[in-house]
Structure 1
Amino acid sequence: MLSGMSIEVHELLVFPGPDGTAGNPLGVVLDGASVLRADRQGVAAELGYSETVFVDDAATGAITIFTPAVELPFAGHPTVGTAWLLAREKAPVDALRPPAGTVAVRYETDLTWVTARPEWTPKFDFRQLGSAAEVENYPLPTEGQQYVWAWIDEAAGIVRSRSFPVDMGIQEDEATGAAAVALVGKLGRRVEIHQGVGSVLIAGPTGDGAVELGGRTTAVRRLELAR
């Protein structure tokens, strides 16, 4: 990318609750091909979102995903949010293609769904606690990738969780789609996850070892990042 140019970034909230509150902030650069790969980590760090997506080719769904500290082969809220944004700004897609592999996409009223494999996800340190109150009061870790969770209603599949991917440069993640995919891979059942201050993620097995992940997305603003 040439000096003096600017990057247009769409800021979204992914996995907000039904009332539109909470959700995990996401930055999406639709003209990702204009940003050199060598510059993308720095752009993601400067923006400071838990993840930033660069769309290399909207027609094929080719994307890359960066936290402020590392590139990820797959992540949940970036794929859900990017699929939603492409449908809004360009055209609906039937798949996204991050480095991990092909992520199938479908749209259902106000929900966007993606399908991914648990083995694509980072190695979270899952810790099941005894109650939602214990999750609420869990102390902030200083390292690692802890994901703490407890049943709110096990029969109904409703979960309370918090995620601390400190080693990825994120102290606490508001809504972690990749962890939801991995958790469903462990549990083998559909769940509704209430994470952070009010985010809602829905995930369930597809029957072939993959997991479908869905939720809402809302647009916040567009901004120009000078480079």
Structure 2
Amino acid sequence: MYRYTVADVFTSTPLQGNPVAVFTDASEISEQRMQRIARELNLSETTFVLPPRGDADVRVRIFTPVNELPFAGHPTLGTAFVLGAEMKGNILRMETAAGLIPFAFERNGDRIVRATMRQPIPTWKQYEKQMILMSALGVESPSLPVVAYRNGPRHVYVGLGSVTELEAVQPDLRALATLPDMAAICFADADTHWRMRMFSPAYGVAEDAATGSAAGPLAIHLIRHGRLCYGERVEIRQGVEMGRLSTMYATVHGDGDTVSSVEVSGAAVVIARGELLL
């Protein structure tokens, strides 16, 4: 029997945001069974908490329904909320396959109201299959250069001229699935914030309600193209078209083309607890 907790992430409202299932004691679960459990639950990600191997408080493995990810944003933040509720400190150091991810908690009494993670600093380059991607998305003219950023998963950013254009995107998922190891991130300026959508059949997710690992690189992308400044916090909303509003905040520090830190924050709320009878 394996116990798990479900949290809605990047929201403080139940049944909004992006859900993640967290198995808080996965020491007896094999890698093969982790993948099968993630496929059974069929959420965009499921996490498994293990004893740390290095200088961390916990180690976390992250699975989509079809593969394991070295790092992802909403599942690690949701896991941090679940674990932080059972601890008294405000710092949690999480070991992932992409490195150590520190979390800082803000509390109202004993309740965590916000967590901030320091994400891996991504690498980036122009995306090599832009024409195929544009055709699959049905986008004719992106508003900014199409660039791939990798901080574990690989996100390819496609800027659109308006929120109306963003809402109208209806990708050919079969065509997108031929592009391996990537998530298509479409985004648009919404005046007071930025709106984002993520499509990734290659990662087993047709559309994602909140992609925390894409929030930090989006802020870098905006800075590199003159739409944001270092040290300026940007609000990013996702999941609107899915009826699951998610709100993320990203802040990037650096100078020129050198990024020194990437921080992403948000809320989460526990909505369910259960047991797998295995």
Q: Does the TM-score normalized on the shorter chain lie above 0.5? A: yes
Give the deviation of 1:174 after TM superposition: 0.2
| 2:169 aligned partner, one-letter code | Y
- Greater Rg over alpha carbons, structure: 2
> In 2, Cα distance between the equivalents of 1:41 and 1:20?
26
Q: Percent identity?
A: 34
Partner of residue 3, structure 1: none
The change in CA–CA distance for 1:193 and 1:61 in structure 2 (over 3 A counts) is same
Poorly superposed stretches of 4+, deviation over 3 Å: 18-21, 90-93
Partner of residue 187, structure 2: 149
> In 2, Cα distance between the equivalents of 1:33 and 1:103?
20
> In 1, Cα distance between the equivalents of 2:198 and 2:247?
13
The change in CA–CA distance for 1:48 and 1:206 in structure 2 (over 3 A counts) is same
| 2:222 aligned partner, one-letter code | L
| Mapping of residues 203-222 of structure 1, within 5 Å | 203-207=250-254, 209-222=260-273
| 1:151 aligned partner, one-letter code | D
Give the deviation of 1:125 after TM superposition: 2.0
Matching residue within 99, 102, 108 for 1:101: 99
Give the deviation of 1:38 after TM superposition: 2.4
The change in CA–CA distance for 1:47 and 1:19 in structure 2 (over 3 A counts) is closer
Matching residue within 115, 119, 134 for 1:116: 119
Q: Which moved more, 1:171-180 or 1:32-41?
A: 32-41
> In 1, Cα distance between the equivalents of 2:211 and 2:75?
10
Give the deviation of 1:206 after TM superposition: 3.6
| Mapping of residues 144-183 of structure 1, within 5 Å | 144=179, 145-153=183-191, 156=192, 158-183=193-218
Give the deviation of 1:141 after TM superposition: 3.4
> In 2, Cα distance between the equivalents of 1:19 and 1:26?
14
> In 2, Cα distance between the equivalents of 1:202 and 1:20?
19
1:37 aligns with 2:28: no
Measured on the aligned residues, the alpha-carbon RMSD in Å equals 1.8
The change in CA–CA distance for 1:91 and 1:61 in structure 2 (over 3 A counts) is farther
1:186 aligns with 2:221: yes
The change in CA–CA distance for 1:139 and 1:186 in structure 2 (over 3 A counts) is same
Partner of residue 76, structure 2: 79
The change in CA–CA distance for 1:10 and 1:194 in structure 2 (over 3 A counts) is same
> In 2, Cα distance between the equivalents of 1:38 and 1:27?
17
Instruction: Show CA shifts across 1:167-224 (max 9, x none).
Output: 0000000000011122122223431111012110111114453211110100110111
Structure 2 segments unaligned to the other structure (5+ residues): 108-112, 123-150, 224-228
> In 2, Cα distance between the equivalents of 1:217 and 1:19?
8
> In 2, Cα distance between the equivalents of 1:52 and 1:185?
27
Partner of residue 274, structure 2: 223
8 Å contact from structure 1 (residues 202, 213) kept in 2: yes
8 Å contact from structure 1 (residues 141, 166) kept in 2: no
8 Å contact from structure 1 (residues 21, 199) kept in 2: no
> In 2, Cα distance between the equivalents of 1:55 and 1:19?
25
3-state SS, counterpart of residue 185 of structure 1 = helix
8 Å contact from structure 1 (residues 68, 169) kept in 2: yes
Structure 1 segments unaligned to the other structure (5+ residues): 1-5
8 Å contact from structure 2 (residues 20, 44) kept in 1: yes
Equivalenced residue count is 218
Partner of residue 135, structure 2: none
> In 1, Cα distance between the equivalents of 2:49 and 2:253?
27
| 1:15 aligned partner, one-letter code | F
3-state SS, counterpart of residue 64 of structure 1 = strand
> In 2, Cα distance between the equivalents of 1:72 and 1:184?
21
Q: Which moved more, 1:46-55 or 1:121-130?
A: 121-130
